[in-house]
Amino acid sequence: MQPTGWLLGQALLTLGAWTASDSYCDHGDVLYGSFCYYFGSWTASWKDAEDYCVNVWKGHLASFHSIEELNFLRAYARGYWIWAGFRRTNGYNAMFTDGTPSDYLPWGEKQPRGWEDASCVRLGSDGRLYYYLCHIDIRFICKKAANRGSNPLKLSEPQSVWTDACGWWAHNPSNDYCYLLIIEYQINWNGAKDDCSRNGGNLLSITDFKEQDFVRDYFQARVNGISLWIGGYSLNAEEKWMWSDGSKLLYIRWSTGEPEDDKPAQRCLSWDLDSDRWKEDTCGSDRGFICKIRSKRSMAV
């Protein structure tokens, strides 16, 4: 049996009676409705993933009960396969490990039908469910009821909150754009640009000091002095800089001594959020990065 608060949270999420204003998550977790979600950055077998969610994080592998909640999980999975919180126990029946009913099951093609030893269920990048071999290591998402009451987190440590405008990206209401910080892994500039493109956006372009201040204030507490890739680049030595989204680089915030004359012809921009300055960098260096995309609201206009 699940704790009463957990089942109450699921009921309130279904009814829409519990909002983010009176619930909160621990730092690093993501709040959606009345639940907190933990998105594992490593891979594990189904059993190891469920054991981690239960014994370390005090929840379960994620259950889902609507297309909206599933789309939230799918968006945060960023194209990876992830373990779902249920498995086949008798024949082809499956139940969620958190004790909630399996009332929303968008099966993929030729499902639900698994191999004899494929009794665990994964969420595919297409948003559909598939039986899969339980011992294979893939990513996973944990879920538990949110804490009730006022949020004790410091304002300098913003938690991720799902919004209709930007999903799990940070929403800037002044320009209606969304921003995503990636520091769980580091890659070169071209790889970062490709990752942002796969997420439907571009590497960060900055149009004025107001936008720079918003992004810096939102993410600065999480980056601990490291430099991040943004979308500026130059393919020649004539200092003709562009943003990766195709726009011209009109607003500039160079560090002292930048740009340097002895850098290679192909250069890319990195941003040190602590000094709040940009510098030209070797494009092959591995760094975290920030993506940017128009909000769903502005794209619908």
- Which CATH number goes with the domain that contains 101? 3.10.100.10
Q: How many helical (H) and strand (E) elements, i.e. helices and strands, does the chain have?
A: 6, 19
Give SS3 for 192.
Answer: helix
Q: Are 32 and 134 part of one and the same domain?
A: yes
Give SS3 for 54.
Answer: helix
Which helix (H) or strand (E) segment holds residue 79: the answer is none
pLDDT digits (tens, 9 = 90+) for 190-246: 999 988 887 788 999 999 989 999 998 888 777 767 889 999 998 766 667 899 999
* In a domain? residue 112: yes
* The pLDDT of residue 9 is above 80: no
* The pLDDT of residue 152 is above 80: no
Most confidently predicted of 88-92, 144-148, 295-299: 144-148
Q: Are 51 and 137 part of one and the same domain?
A: yes
SS3 labels along 147-174: EECCCCCCCCCCCEECECCCECCEEECC
* In a domain? residue 158: no
Q: Are 72 and 113 part of one and the same domain?
A: yes
Q: Which residue has the tokens 């994964």?
A: 122
pLDDT digits (tens, 9 = 90+) for 247-265: 888 888 776 555 565 555 6
Question: Which residues span the domain enclosing 266?
Answer: 169-300
Strands (E), the chain: 23-24, 30-32, 35-39, 60-61, 82-90, 93-96, 120-123, 129-132, 139-145, 147-148, 160-161, 170-172, 177-187, 202-203, 227-234, 242-243, 267-272, 277-281, 287-294
Q: Are 83 and 144 part of one and the same domain?
A: yes
DSSP assignment string, 100-135? -------B-TT-S---TT--EEEE-TTS-EEEE-TT
Q: Are 108 and 183 part of one and the same domain?
A: no
Cα→Cα distances 245→206, 212, 254, Å: 11, 17, 20
The rounded distance, in Å, linking the Cα atoms of 135 and 47 is 8
Q: Are 185 and 90 part of one and the same domain?
A: no
Q: Are 126 and 18 part of one and the same domain?
A: yes
For residue 33, the model assigns a pLDDT of 82
Q: Percent of the chain, pLDDT > 90?
A: 31
**Cα Dmax for the chain:** 69
Candidate from 34-43, 60-69, 156-165 with smallest mean pLDDT: 156-165
For residue 16, the model assigns a pLDDT of 38
What is the total count of domains within the chain? Answer: 2
pTM comes to 0.53
